[in-house]
Chains A and B, each alone.
Chain A
């Protein structure tokens, strides 16, 4: 026993559990992220399977958001940030100079912590993505895309009569669902969610979680969350990050009933944080 007191040294690049998949959507090997001289991500290797929901948990500053942002190169805009290692989406290198960032982000959409609708109408918010990517040729086609996305996001019935009203007039939960609709309007293959419910009340949170379960049929979803209950509720697999290490990845059920690593155990049972 005795695993409770001793914190085994975090071994560089060592992850316990079940980090690999036979048919990965994302294949990430020895990923390292540096902010200037500080290393934020320490040699993480992980596969993310097709159409799975995987959640990243861990204490603040453990690198889970940083790691998430590598997956659609949102870190590119930070000058001092550099990413090393091999990151592949469907076998293609994400950081290949030939890989177009705009195209990548159309495939790997992102939903942020705070609902951030554009200060435009509800319709324009959802139509923005299809418009800039030229996905619809006619108005009718665009209308259909907007309706589909809003339906998938479970928002259609609430907003169908006021599509031309400003999106900022919606409630926080509705705004976040609108942001999800906006993201899925461009039919991405992967949706990254960075603490999507942290600013929402429990009912709105439940709606989003329900939505995540529904979306998981068509999308690969990677969600960073501070709520372990949320991770337990929505995800197939859970990954625990600690100080830039990926400590443990396993089936969510396993992680929350019998974690293999003592650090994971300490974190999820509320012994540090």
Chain B
């Protein structure tokens, strides 16, 4: 009896120790998760804090007098005349109207011109060309402000940004802001324009479309090839040295640095096959090479996780190998395969290095029209902007990072949704 009592006592004491250990371990876990969360919050707050201004643009709203004499333009339908006409003059005149203290001296004229985006005159020209009846009327129009004005408008007083406006210009901008001539609006340009030399006019549309096209090629190639390879290796391939060798190599390929795939793409697709540089098609091919091992490994794991009892059941009824795979193994493995593929794709979406090598790093203003049109992709665009000297690009790079993140999150969400949907079928 005493023996039992001491035993119970011993157990109780060890229990206390065990619970203490458990609590300690749980605390470690919470700390680890906390650190990870903190890092994530820091990352996001930094990017969002720096980048939200990238989603804003500074505009100048002016009442423009489209006086034919001022512009040296008589007939707006005459293309040559249109080209020769001076569209800067009405803009400057309109600005002078808002800023009575500006003189007509050369310096002031240049300073005034520096308030508007370099493309403002072209924009005006386009509008007049589109509607010749505008000639001779007065119109209220909104133009993009110059990049420096944009920076001053958003970041005046921030040490990280050096303001490149003269004190005179700064004073003008302040006046114009007070008069609601200079406004801050949502930056739709970011989503409709391609790259540009001028930050205010630059957008990620080209890179987004480029990324989409590249991903499309990658998906269309890597998913069917990867899944077929996985099915063959898991279900049909004989177990011998050759398949072992292939398996080891696939696993190794998954760990190969991505830039090697870029070199391979350059050597094979561009130099050997003579495909053009910078096109999404070649980018997709290279990323396919990179994504395939991931998809194959994920798909094989998904196939392996299909319970053998289901396979046996189908075989026991007399289903052929092909029917077993198509009717049972594939549907059951599909969620896992899709998840693996989308994770692989997400990885490819963020990939820069291999694309640099095949020339998807060029400065491309136009939004690509197709798979064989020169294009760049989001991460490369970010890379380019982050490295450019103009201040306006820094916030745009952050904005582009957010766009990229949104892309990734929506792809992952798609993966989760697909998985849930496919799993719910039974």
Chain A residues close to B by CB (< 8 Å): 72, 74, 77, 79, 102-106, 109-112, 114, 116-120, 128-129, 132-133, 166, 168, 179, 182-183, 186
* Cross-chain pair count, CB within 8 angstroms: 66
Let me know if B313 and A116 touch, CB within 8 A. Answer: yes
Task: Considering the complex, give the chain A residue whose CB is closest to the CB of B239.
Answer: A79
B96 close to A (CB within 8 Å): no
Task: Considering the complex, give the chain B residue whose CB is closest to the CB of A115.
Answer: B309
Let me know if A74 and B316 touch, CB within 8 A. Answer: yes
The interface residues of chain B lying within 8 Å CB-to-CB of A74 are 312, 315-316
Interface residues on B, range: 20 to 34
Shortest Cβ gap from B79 to chain A (Å): 68
Binary contact readout B340-353 vs A (1 if CB under 8 angstroms, 0 otherwise): 00000000000000
Let me know if A77 and B315 touch, CB within 8 A. Answer: yes
Task: Considering the complex, give the chain A residue whose CB is closest to the CB of B312.
Answer: A112
Let me know if A105 and B315 touch, CB within 8 A. Answer: yes
* A-B interface, 7 closest residue pairs, ranked by CB to CB distance from nearest: A119-B426, A110-B316, A116-B309, A105-B318, A106-B318, A129-B317, A116-B313
The interface residues of chain B lying within 8 Å CB-to-CB of A182 are 313, 317
B271 close to A (CB within 8 Å): no
Cβ contacts A to B, 27 pairs, < 8 Å = A72-B316, A74-B312, A74-B315, A79-B239, A102-B319, A102-B320, A109-B317, A109-B318, A110-B316, A112-B309, A112-B316, A116-B307, A116-B309, A118-B310, A118-B328, A119-B332, A119-B426, A128-B314, A128-B317, A128-B319, A128-B327, A129-B317, A132-B323, A132-B327, A179-B313, A182-B313, A186-B318
Cα separation A243 to B310 with both chains bound (whole Å) = 29
B49 close to A (CB within 8 Å): no
Let me know if B319 and A132 touch, CB within 8 A. Answer: yes
Task: Considering the complex, give the chain A residue whose CB is closest to the CB of B307.
Answer: A116
Cα separation A128 to B307 with both chains bound (whole Å) = 18
Let me know if B310 and A116 touch, CB within 8 A. Answer: yes
Chain B residues close to A by CB (< 8 Å): 238-239, 307, 309-310, 312-320, 323, 327-328, 332, 425-426
Let me know if B316 and A79 touch, CB within 8 A. Answer: no
Task: Considering the complex, give the chain A residue whose CB is closest to the CB of B320.
Answer: A102
The interface residues of chain A lying within 8 Å CB-to-CB of B314 are 118, 128
Q: A116-B309, A168-B426 are in contact. Are A186 and B332 (CB under 8 A)?
A: no
Residue from A110, A118, A133 having most chain B Cβ neighbours under 10 A: A118
Task: Considering the complex, give the chain A residue whose CB is closest to the CB of B309.
Answer: A116
Shortest Cβ gap from A105 to chain B (Å): 4
Shortest Cβ gap from A213 to chain B (Å): 22
Cα separation A47 to B318 with both chains bound (whole Å) = 24
Cα separation A112 to B316 with both chains bound (whole Å) = 9
Cα separation A112 to B312 with both chains bound (whole Å) = 8
Task: Considering the complex, give the chain A residue whose CB is closest to the CB of B319.
Answer: A132
Let me know if B309 and A120 touch, CB within 8 A. Answer: no
The interface residues of chain B lying within 8 Å CB-to-CB of A183 are 316-317
Within 8 Å by CB of B318, from A133, A168, A179, lies A133
Cα separation A144 to B426 with both chains bound (whole Å) = 24
Shortest Cβ gap from A241 to chain B (Å): 21
Cα separation A186 to B319 with both chains bound (whole Å) = 11
The interface residues of chain B lying within 8 Å CB-to-CB of A79 are 238-239
Task: Considering the complex, give the chain B residue whose CB is closest to the CB of A113.
Answer: B309
Given contacts A110-B316, A112-B309, 14 further A-B contacts (CB under 8 A): A74-B316, A105-B317, A109-B317, A112-B312, A112-B316, A116-B313, A118-B328, A119-B310, A119-B425, A129-B317, A132-B319, A132-B320, A132-B323, A186-B317
Cα separation A65 to B213 with both chains bound (whole Å) = 55
Task: Considering the complex, give the chain B residue whose CB is closest to the CB of A107.
Answer: B318
Shortest Cβ gap from B228 to chain A (Å): 21
Within 8 Å by CB of A166, from B317, B320, B328, B426, lies B426
Let me know if A114 and B239 touch, CB within 8 A. Answer: no
The interface residues of chain B lying within 8 Å CB-to-CB of A105 are 315-318
Q: A79-B238, A116-B307, A120-B426 are in contact. Are A132 and B315 (CB under 8 A)?
A: no
Let me know if A129 and B315 touch, CB within 8 A. Answer: no
Shortest Cβ gap from B310 to chain A (Å): 6
The interface residues of chain A lying within 8 Å CB-to-CB of B312 are 74, 110, 112, 116
The interface residues of chain A lying within 8 Å CB-to-CB of B315 are 74, 77, 105
The interface residues of chain A lying within 8 Å CB-to-CB of B332 are 119
Cα separation A168 to B238 with both chains bound (whole Å) = 33
Cα separation A110 to B307 with both chains bound (whole Å) = 17
The interface residues of chain A lying within 8 Å CB-to-CB of B323 are 132
Cα separation A117 to B314 with both chains bound (whole Å) = 9
Cα separation A72 to B316 with both chains bound (whole Å) = 8
Let me know if A129 and B318 touch, CB within 8 A. Answer: yes
Shortest Cβ gap from B272 to chain A (Å): 40
Shortest Cβ gap from A152 to chain B (Å): 16
Cα separation A72 to B313 with both chains bound (whole Å) = 13
Let me know if B318 and A103 touch, CB within 8 A. Answer: yes
The interface residues of chain A lying within 8 Å CB-to-CB of B318 are 102-106, 109, 129, 132-133, 186
Cα separation A182 to B315 with both chains bound (whole Å) = 12
Cα separation A166 to B307 with both chains bound (whole Å) = 17
The interface residues of chain A lying within 8 Å CB-to-CB of B310 are 116, 118-119
Shortest Cβ gap from A197 to chain B (Å): 16
Let me know if B426 and A109 touch, CB within 8 A. Answer: no
Residue from B238, B317, B320 having most chain A Cβ neighbours under 10 A: B317
Shortest Cβ gap from B256 to chain A (Å): 31
Shortest Cβ gap from A113 to chain B (Å): 9
Task: Considering the complex, give the chain A residue whose CB is closest to the CB of B331.
Answer: A119
Cα separation A111 to B309 with both chains bound (whole Å) = 11
